[in-house]
Amino acid sequence: MKILLVTEQFCLANNGMTISSQRFARILKEHGHEVRMMGYSREPVDADGEYAYAMKKLTIPVFDNLITSQGMIFAKVNRKIIRDALVWADLVHILSPFALSHVTIKMARLYGVPFTGAFHVQPENITSSIHLSRADLVNDAIYHWFHFYIYRYCRHIHCPSNFIAGELRLRGYHSQLHVISNGIDPDFVYRKSPKVKALEGKFVVLMVGRLSIEKRQDVLIRAVTRSRYADRIQLVLAGKGPRKEALLRLAEKEHLANPLQIHFFPKKHLLELISMSDLYVHAADVEIEAMSCMEAFAGGLVPVIADSRKSATPQFALDQRSLFQAGDSNDLAAKIDYWIEHETERKAMEYKYSALGKKYALENCVRQAEEMFRQELEEHAGKRRRFICRRRKQSQKDS
């Protein structure tokens, strides 16, 4: 197949959706498909040097700094580029619910090109930035707007988790929903390495993710200070985002025993960090799936996950020892202390969590997406045949 992936950006691996898109494209190519991506890019080529449909950046006055600080860039819609892409493509897969996708869907329907959608943007990810993540009426309105603007046109929608599929059904999404994980990169496997000198003698607690309000790194910082073993714990936050300075100030205010480490790690260094860490915490209130948590437990770390009703991540907890009450630093501190005190149990659970990661192998997840694509192509062809038959019958009547 010639598959066109449509997303706002694909050149900067600085958010989960973009990283997932790049991996998805790579595996599709390995399976023999031709894959091109359409969205913002500084250069008209993708990571493999193949031509892509590159658009300029859309600058949004007032909000542009906030948007870019969250790792997002919007593409400036260019209808000529979209037309060229649709002429090439056998199938279009929509990855983001914004203007570029909306116009692409309108033109795909006009040109008769089949398309599918993926639901990667949770409304709470948007409203958290303006402190409205708990405003259910606002979040519901965004769900309904996404449906009206994008997803009502899609016969098939890829949902990364049962959680988000349930949220869509609750709000009247009537398309066929395909629950398919974004998948874990095969490089994330159980591996342990000796700690570098700066981490020697420390119990390393790791959290990976964008430094934004809904990820709740603040809960983790407070939990570490309330641990009975605070002096032993080295907290590392892997990521970047608008909350970095605020989190550093919070760590200083809470008198974190060991200086908070915040860095963005390329994949190679992230793999090394996971191999030297002792425990993974995912404190986020809002998650469609949480690829970073999946990668961590696939790499051999026991996770402690916020049991939030707005998050899919609790599905990965193998028992209650890996869950804490969302937003409760005291409960999280107690769970961290438990795993420090029960090293033998933690070592045993590391292997179980690593085995769980194999269930979400990227290769298998892409195979499931390919089946969704084939289903759309067959249904589209059938609909087109029925349309042609009706036109022929109407012509015969007219004659």
**What are the pLDDT digits (tens) for 278-301?**
999 999 999 999 999 999 999 999
In this prediction, residue 65 carries a pLDDT of 67
Which residue, 96, 92, 165, 154, is CA-closest to 125?
96
Q: Can you tell me the mean pLDDT for 143-160?
A: 97
Task: Please indicate, yes or no, whether the overall pTM of this predicted structure exceeds 0.95.
Answer: no
Q: 12-43 burial, b if ≥16 CB within 10 A, otherwise e?
A: bbbbbbbbbbbbbbbbbeeeebebbbbbbbee
* pLDDT digit string, tens, across residues 176-222: 999 999 999 999 999 999 999 999 999 999 999 999 999 999 999 99
* More confident position, 281 or 58: 281
In this prediction, residue 11 carries a pLDDT of 65
pLDDT > 70 in the chain, percent? 89
In this prediction, residue 47 carries a pLDDT of 47
Contact 288, 312 (CB under 8 A): yes
DSSP, collapsed to helix, strand or coil, labels residue 100 as helix
Total Cβ atoms within 10 A of residue 138: 15
Structure-derived torsion over alpha carbons of residues 241, 242, 243, 245, reported in degrees to the nearest 10: 100
CA pair distance 271, 208, nearest whole angstrom: 12
* pLDDT digit string, tens, across residues 346-390: 999 999 999 999 999 999 999 999 999 999 999 998 776 665 566
DSSP 211-261: -SGGG-HHHHHHHHHHSTTTTTEEEEEE--STTHHHHHHHHHHTT-SS--E
CA terminus-to-terminus distance, the chain: 39
Q: Which residues contact 317 (CB under 8 A, 6 or more apart)?
A: 303, 305, 307, 323
CA pair distance 75, 164, nearest whole angstrom: 25
Contact 199, 193 (CB under 8 A): no
DSSP 147-203: HHHTGGG-SEEEESSHHHHHHHHHTT--SEEEE----B-TT------PPPGGGTT-E
* pLDDT digit string, tens, across residues 314-338: 999 999 999 999 999 999 999 999 9
Q: Can you tell me the mean pLDDT for 244-254?
A: 96
Q: Which residues contact 111 (CB under 8 A, 6 or more apart)?
A: 83, 86, 87
The residues with which 208 forms a beta bridge, in sequence order, are 238
Q: Which pLDDT band, with edges at 50, 70 and 90, does 74 fall under?
A: confident
CA pair distance 96, 157, nearest whole angstrom: 12
Q: Can you tell me the mean pLDDT for 227-237?
A: 98
The CA-atom distances, in angstroms, between 278 and each of 61, 68, 236, 281 are 44, 32, 11, 10
* pLDDT digit string, tens, across residues 96-105: 999 999 999 9
* pLDDT digit string, tens, across residues 102-119: 999 999 999 999 999 999
